[in-house]
Amino acid sequence: MLDIGWSELLVIGVVALIVVGPKDLPRLFRTLGRFTGKAKGMAREFSRAMNDAADEAGVKDLSDSVGSLRKATSAKAMGLDALDKAAKSFEGFDPTSETGKLSKERAEQAAKIRDHAAKKAQARLDREAAEKAAAEAGPDASETAPEAVAAVESEKPKATES
């Protein structure tokens, strides 16, 4: 509280004994004790009155909701601490390592698959467009519509026999 040690208390006691005298010293300590007790009581009453006023104003409910809001938005509650940990593990990524080589191979394979799928899709769209044109031309269509269908048919992948 006041951070007074035993040696300081002894010096204060000796000075009080000399200044006040041994006859009036007990009365002085009694008066000092009553004063200290009244001051503590007033501080306690003031604190209690402030807490009651805060409760009436709803500050306690507000502080509870702020506390729950802080808990809800904390990085740990949202899982961001795990995300930060994962991000830090990627900071030391070495592309020359075995994992880096596998990652590069997989990226190349994925690009090949995408290119092949795009070619297949374009061939299918071309074939469907030619078939639609042939269907719109009707039975009296000229030679160009069957030729377009035949050209698209030749581009169809052949089924392999197993």
Q: Decide if 70 is inside a domain.
A: no
pLDDT tens digits, residue range 85-126? Answer: 777 776 666 666 777 778 888 999 999 999 999 999 999 999
Is 127 part of a structural domain of the chain?
yes
Q: What is the mean pLDDT of residues 32-42?
A: 93
Residue 162 falls within a domain, yes or no?
A: no
Domain that holds residue 45: 7-58
| Percent of all residues in the chain with a pLDDT value above 90, rounded to a whole number | 28
DSSP letters along the chain, please? -----HHHHHHHHHHHHHHH-TTTHHHHHHHHHHHHHHHHHHHHHHHHHHHHHHHHHTHHHHHHHHHHHHHHTSHHHHTHHHHHHHHHHHHT--TTSHHHHHHHHHHHHHHHHHHHHHHHHHHHHHHHHHHHHHHHH-TT--THHHHHHHHHHHHSPPPPP-
- Please count the structural domains in the chain: 2
Are 147 and 102 in a shared domain?
A: yes
The larger pLDDT score, comparing residue 138 to residue 21, is at: 21
pLDDT bucket at 31, cuts 50 / 70 / 90: very high
Q: Is residue 101 part of a domain?
A: yes
Task: Answer yes or no: is pLDDT of 162 > 90.
Answer: no
Q: What pLDDT is attached to residue 161? A: 44
Q: Is the pLDDT of residue 2 over 90?
A: no
**51, 100: one domain:** no
Enter the pTM of the model.
0.33
